[in-house]
Each structure stands twice: as structure tokens, then as C-alpha cells.
Amino acid sequence: MLNEDGAPIEGANVHIGYPSHQPSNIRGEHKKGHTDENGYFTFTGTASWKASVSVRQDGFYETLLSPEIHESDSRGNARLKSNVEVEVVLRKIRNPVPMYAGRIKLPFPESIGRFGFDLLERDWVHPHGEGNHVDLWISVDFTYESSDNYELALLWEFEGESNGIQPFQPFEHSRFKSAYEAPLEGYSNSIEWIRSRLPNKSATRRVGEPRVLIRNDTEDDSDVLMAKSGYFIRFRSILNEDGEVEGGYYGKIYGAGSFFVGLDEDSSGEMFTGVIYVNPREGGRNIEFDLDKNLLEGLPRDLQPRFP
């Protein structure tokens, strides 16, 4: 067990679970212990097909992972590895802050059109909702033939040249998945998602499997299936006379690009975003969220954040 600087962590709590070879033991086998002064925890056991590892330590975020415990023999058959060593990095809890955090689930005003959206009010701008300030323009183009043949193109365009969105690769195993601060540079002013379900086969998708194309103005197109993605966002900032960014709100999105279409031609479709986090302090780039201090109250369970 290491911290982010590569130093070993002594005394971390380790819990390992794996299926038992004994049919009567439906709960499986469990091993618990603590890391030694060199950051190691060692155990022996025989798993039937997988293992799960949980590591906790005061002052750090929990890490969860399922290490690969099989390998292929000379004939290509799977077999258990005789020895598995897993390196686990724990991320430190630094300065979590209250934020506005939650998914947004709203029907599109119409199946085709360009509509203003207020990221602080989390609603369409008047006359389609209660929003007052256009932070981004959302263009939607929904064509429908059947539940197995449709396409929905969704374009986000941030208002103001200094505002925008940029992707990042989340930390897969840690419960804290983003950087501690949003960056100052690298934002793209627009991003587009195209979700379609097509009746014909393709080399990479099953018949009728949703396809999501993500496109922005700084990267090549990428074709993914609802990827485990993350995004930084900045809105309501301005450029001063020296071309420097001033003010604005910073945040992040876990799993952006999740949006759905209706099941008939009379539906305008629905936007169901990933979890959008916004630091309430203007100019504040800290995006380490305190799960116990969500500024959005009364959210339904399916809209609530699960990670800091």
C-alpha cells in the first residue's frame, strides 16, 4: 500500500473476499488484516474465480479493486495464478468542501432546437424553465423511426470564450476519482454526444446496442459505449484586458454523456446527465467534494452523488 508520493502506508485496513471452493460456504472466504511497516499485507488462499479487495486508512479515501487472478496456460486455458501481487495507491483526504452535486434529469423542451441552460439553477432558461442565466446552449436533434432505430444528437456550447469543458480519465479504483483542483487551461468551448440505436449489425456493436459518439473541438472523434468518463467544467468566467481568466465557477462531471430518448415518436427525449459538481465559491477551483455537505437538498435517490 502506497500513498500518492510512493511511500508505504503502515497499518492500513485490508479486507479481501473471494468465492469458496466449498459449495456449502455460500458467503465465500474473507481475509482481514493490516499492512506492515513496508506497506505489505500477505495472505494465502484459493479462489474459485475472482477476488475483491478493499483498503481503508484514516485520512485517506477507500480504494476498491478486483485484481486479475487468472492466467492462460500454453494451451490457452485459464488457470489460477500461483502468486498475485497487487499495488494499491491510497489518495489522501485533503480539503473536501460543500458543493452543488447531483444528476440532472429533464425532458428536452422540443425534439429539435437550441435551448439555453442555467447550470446553477439546473434548469432550462425561461420560457422553458426557471433558469435566468444562459451558461450553455444545448442543441438537440432527435429523429425516431422505432425503439430500435433512432438517433439523438446533443451539442453543448458554453457561453463565453473562456468557458468550456475538458475530459479527464477518472481514478478507477479510488472513491475519489478526480484531481483535487480543476485546471486553468485546456477547456473546449463545445462538446457533442450522438446516441443512436441502429437495426443493422456492426463490427463492434450488437444489433440495437446504443452507440455514443463523443466529439469536441480539441480532440479526434471517439466512439464509445457510455464510457466511464469524467469532465472538468468552467462557466461564467471572463477574460480581462491581459487575456487572463477571471472569476467563474468550476466543477466536474462524473459520467457525462448519459442521455436518453423516448420510446415513441411523440417524445422529445430526455437529458439524464452524469453527476455534476459545482464549487459555489466564484473562482474556487477546489473540486474535492464533501459527501456530507451537499448544497442540493431533497434529491431523489437516483440523482444523488455516490462519490466525493
Taking only the tens place, the pLDDT of each residue in 127-177 is 999 999 999 999 988 777 776 777 778 889 999 999 999 989 899 899 999
pLDDT for residue 224: 38
Residue 216, pLDDT > 50, answer no
pLDDT for residue 98: 98
**Band (218; pLDDT cuts 50, 70, 90):** very low
Both 59 and 127 in a single domain? Answer: no
pLDDT for residue 49: 65
CA 131 from centre of chain: 25
The three-state DSSP-derived secondary structure of 145-203 is: EECCEEEEEEEEEECCCCCEEEEECCCCCECCCCCCECCCCCCECEEEEEEEECCCCCC
Both 183 and 274 in a single domain? Answer: yes
184 belongs to a structural domain? yes
**Band (274; pLDDT cuts 50, 70, 90):** confident
**Band (20; pLDDT cuts 50, 70, 90):** low
CA terminus-to-terminus distance, the chain: 21
Q: Give CA–CA dist 286/302, Å, rounded.
A: 25
Lowest mean pLDDT among 120-129, 212-221, 282-291: 212-221
38 belongs to a structural domain? yes
Both 68 and 174 in a single domain? Answer: no
Both 72 and 123 in a single domain? Answer: no
Domain range enclosing 242: 97-303
Percentage above 90 pLDDT, the chain: 51
Residue 280, pLDDT > 90, answer yes
57 belongs to a structural domain? yes
pLDDT for residue 228: 54
How far apart, in Å, are the Cα atoms of 31 and each of 26, 54, 88? 16, 11, 17
Percentage above 70 pLDDT, the chain: 78
Both 149 and 47 in a single domain? Answer: no
Q: Give CA–CA dist 194/267, Å, rounded.
A: 17
pLDDT for residue 195: 74
Residue 193, pLDDT > 90, answer no
Both 213 and 248 in a single domain? Answer: yes
pLDDT for residue 285: 97
More confident residue, 70 or 173: 173
90 belongs to a structural domain? no
Q: For residue 210, give the nearest of 125, 131, 152, 271 by alpha carbon.
A: 152
Helix, strand, coil % in the chain, rounded to nearest 5: 0, 45, 55
pLDDT for residue 102: 96
5 belongs to a structural domain? no
More confident residue, 210 or 23: 23
Using DSSP bridges, classify how beta strands 97-102 and 289-294 pair: parallel, antiparallel or unpaired. parallel
Both 73 and 122 in a single domain? Answer: no
- Which residues have a Cβ under 8 Å from the Cβ of 42 and sit 6 or more positions away? none
The upper half-sphere exposure of residue 189, i.e. CA atoms within 13 Å in the direction of its Cβ, equals 5
109 belongs to a structural domain? yes
Q: Is 215 exposed, middle or buried (0-12, 13-18, 19+ CB in 10 A)?
A: middle
Both 218 and 272 in a single domain? Answer: yes
Residue 229, pLDDT > 90, answer no
More confident residue, 149 or 280: 280
- Which residues have a Cβ under 8 Å from the Cβ of 23 and sit 6 or more positions away? none
Strand partners, 123: 118
Give the mean model confidence (pLDDT) for residues 100-116. 91
Q: What mean pLDDT, rounded, does the chain reach?
A: 82
Residue 97, pLDDT > 80, answer yes
Give the mean model confidence (pLDDT) for residues 81-109. 90
More confident residue, 201 or 288: 288
Residue 260, pLDDT > 60, answer no
Residue 209, pLDDT > 60, answer no
**Band (70; pLDDT cuts 50, 70, 90):** low
Total number of domains in the chain: 2
Both 53 and 152 in a single domain? Answer: no
Q: Give CA–CA dist 18/220, Å, rounded.
A: 41
More confident residue, 140 or 284: 284
Cβ-contact 101, 294 below 8 angstroms: yes
Give the mean model confidence (pLDDT) for residues 13-25. 73
Both 267 and 157 in a single domain? Answer: yes
Residue with cell 494499491: 88
